[in-house]
Chain A
Amino acid sequence: MYKNMKQMKTGTVVKYMFLLLICILVLFPFFWVVISSFKFERDIVTYPPTVFAKNYTLVNYRRILDYLPIFTYIKNTVIFAVGVGICNVIFDSMTGYAFARMNFRGKNILFTIILVTMMVPFQIIMTPIYMEVYALGMLDTYIGLILPKITSAYGIYMMRSFFTSLPKELEEAARIDGLSEIKIFYKIMLPLCRPATVTLFVFTLMGCWNDLLYPMMLTSKSEMRTLSAGVAMFVGQNVVEYGPSLAIAIVSMLPLLILFFFAQKYFVEGVAVTGLKD
Chain B
Amino acid sequence: MNLLAGAFPPDSGEMRLDGRAFAPRGEAEARRLGVTHIHQELSLCPHLSVAENVLLGAEPSRRGWLDARAMEARATELLAELGRESLDPRRRVEELGLPDRQAVEICRALAADARIVLMDEPTSRLPRESVARLFEAIRRMRARGLAVLYVSHFLEEVREIADRYTVLRDGCSVATGPLSEVTDAQLVERMLGHAMESLSKGSARAARTAGEVLLQAEDLALPPRLVSASLSLRRGEILGVAGLVGSGRTDLVRCLFGLERPAAGRIRLRDKEVPISALSSGAQIRAGVGFLSEDRQREGLALPMSIADNVTLTRLRAVAHGGWIDLPRQAARAEEATRPLRLRSAGPRTPVHRLSGGNRQKVAVARLLNQDPDVLLLDEPARGVDIGAREDIFREIAALAAGGKAVLMVSSYVPELLEVCDTIAVMRRGRLSPARPVAAWTAESILEEAVGGG
**Are these two chains actual partners, yes or no?**
no
